[in-house]
Structures are given as C-alpha cells and as structure tokens.
Amino acid sequence: MVFHSFISPNPASADRISDILKATSRPNSPIIPIYSQLDYWGRFHTIEFQDLKAFNPSLLTLPYAGERMNATFVVVAREEYKWQWIDGIYVQPRHVVASLLHLSSDAQRRIAPKLSPRIRSHSVERMHLIHSNATYFPKCEQDRDGQTSNIQGPEDPRLIWSHLGEPLMIYNSVSPEDSDLCRHFYLVDLRSVYPVIREILSDTSDPAPIRFPQSLPIAYRGQDGIHKNWAIFTTRGGDVFVHVHLIPQTIYKINNGMEKVISHPRNEENCITIALKGTPKPRIHQSTPFLDVVLCRSDDDSCDADDPNNHVYIGVIHAQHMISDARYYETRVVTLNYSLPFNYISISKPMLYCTSLSSIANKWAFQRQNASIRSP
C-alpha cells in the first residue's frame, strides 16, 4: 500500500484502512498476517530478473531435474511499463518473460532486517506470444480510459499444473483479426513457448502430451468490453474451465470454443458480496488460478484422498480500494466446491504480509499528520 499525496483520502476508504491497522494489533485479529518461511525475519522475497525489470509474477513448482537445471520454480511475469516512439506514435511494446528460480536448502542466515531478501532468476527469455507491430488498435476505442489502444503485446500471465501434468498458461493480448474485441485471452502449454521447460519435463516419466501447442484464443459468445483476471482450473479428467466473473459467479468450459456451465443471477448474494459489502463489484476480481487441494492429513489413514468429497478448489481474490490517487488490494482466499456447479464454499479473512503492516501504519500516520497540518 503506497500513499502518494497528502490530499485528504476518501473517508470510507480511510476508515477501512484504519480499522485494518487497529485489528492487526489485537489478539484474535480478523486480519491474517502472512509470513515468509524463506527469511529469518519472515519477510517475502523479491525476484530479480537479469538485465530487465518485471512484475506481477506467477510461479509453478518444478519436478527435480538434476543439478544441471538448477531450478525449483518456473516464473512468468510481465515486463515493466515501456513506451516507445514508432512512426511518430507513442506505443507500449509489452512482453512477457519466463525464467527459472532456485531456492537453496541451506539454513537461513540472520541478516540485517533493512536489507531486502532477493532471489536471482536465470535462463530469462522473452516468450514468443501473441503480439502485433501495429501502433494503434481501433477496436480498443471502446476502452473509455484509452489505456489499451496502443498496447502491442501480452500481459498478466498465470500458470497452473493441469490434472494431466501440463504446465498451462493463460494471458491476454491483442485480439485476432476475426474478433471484434479489443483484447483476447489465450491459453497455451508453457512447454511450447519456453523450451527449457520442455527439456526439464521430458526427463520425467511419461510426460503429458501437448494439447495446446499454440496460443488458443478463448472468448465467449456475446462478450464485450475489456476483460482481465480470468482464472483457470482443471478437473481430474483434464477438462479446462475458466472462472470469468466472481460476481455473479460465471464459469465457462473450454471445448472447441467456450461453453457456459455456470451463471448465477446478477443480483444474487453470495459469501463474497457479504464479506466485501460496500466494495463496488467492479473492484472485486480474481488473482490466481483455482488449485485442487486435498483435505486429508498425511497421518490420517481414514481419509480417502481419492474421494472427491475430500477436495476443494482454492484461489486468491482481490478487492481493490482507493485512497486519493493510490490503490491497494485486500487479499482473500476463496474455496469452491470440487464438482459442478463449483459453488462458493467459503471466503477467508483479509490477509496481509506481516512486514507490510509497519510500513502501512507509518505511511498512514504520516499522511494523517500532514493532512491535519494542512487543514485550515
């Protein structure tokens, strides 16, 4: 959470932040602090990409491929905002990069808490995804903010292991020529666009065939407007589903196009609308794919891990809040039923990284102090 100005913030948002900060200091806090176990002080690590800057990463754990690969995770991320003059027009080139991360198994070392812990990536590549050399996209005139009419390439990639063992990636980029949409979502097997992953997985036993060797455009009939933050998940049989909207909950199945399987009434209340009451619906969106979680302890022989009733899907969502010109995300975890109709089961308390709390409190106090000084 970053506060850029001393303008008095929206009272409702300000009160919400104040309540969050007060709540985290109480026993039985409704806010869940998240600690990193990689660092002695419990802080999250920053990923360093060699010779470039990137953000909004998505990671997958990799199978062990020997010391030669030196890889614990594969990460994809969007490059930083870049602008470039092409034929007298200011455009945003946009690329998505992939790289490998290796986490050492060495014991944690206690370093000065002011130093930001970092993980250096390697084998960095710009992936060949859907991209255009055009400098203006007239189909994006529907975007009232005008922020997409000059974006040439992909953004916001998300990774997931399918139940068949495929490393799948969803991202959005410029739309195909036969589409009237400004931007499109695409689905592709990561092995097709990042060869080092194909090499790693080829060493595993019985690797899954590649079903999506090229970026497959996915859209539904009647789709309009600008869409972001779709979340994918798969079933045991390998079917791929796309969770399009949280409110109303709307899910499509990818099957030679997109076939709607779930759509609840627009004004129907659910656990998300109840928990985030007062937050405008357009500011509540998905963040991660939905993952299959087995609800059995490893030491509980009576729990059948093959029983679908002992599974749920779990994913992270965000509620976007604004304070002056700054925005921050309230993070929550949502669970879905493991079978159709994939209804919501629960939503968690808000979560914050533990090391963000003092920073938030300090900046909030600093803003309030300056606001009071400037008041007549």
Q: What contacts 366, CB < 8 A, 6 or more positions away?
A: 3
pLDDT class for 267, splitting at 50, 70, 90? confident
* Whole-number percent of the chain with pLDDT over 90: 48
By C-alpha distance, which of 131, 100, 76, 95 is closest to 289? 76
The pLDDT score that the predictor gives to residue 275 is: 92
Indicate the SS3 state at residue 372: helix
Give the β-pairing of 351-353 and 32-34: parallel
pTM: 0.84
Biggest alpha carbon–alpha carbon distance for the chain: 72
Type of residue numbered 312: V
Residue 8 confidence (pLDDT) above 70: no
- The pLDDT assigned to 303 comes to 92
Q: What is the pLDDT of residues 199-231, one digit of tens each?
A: 999 888 889 999 999 999 999 988 988 888 999
User: How does pLDDT run across 45-75, given as a tens digit for each residue?
Assistant: 788 888 888 988 999 999 875 555 678 899 9
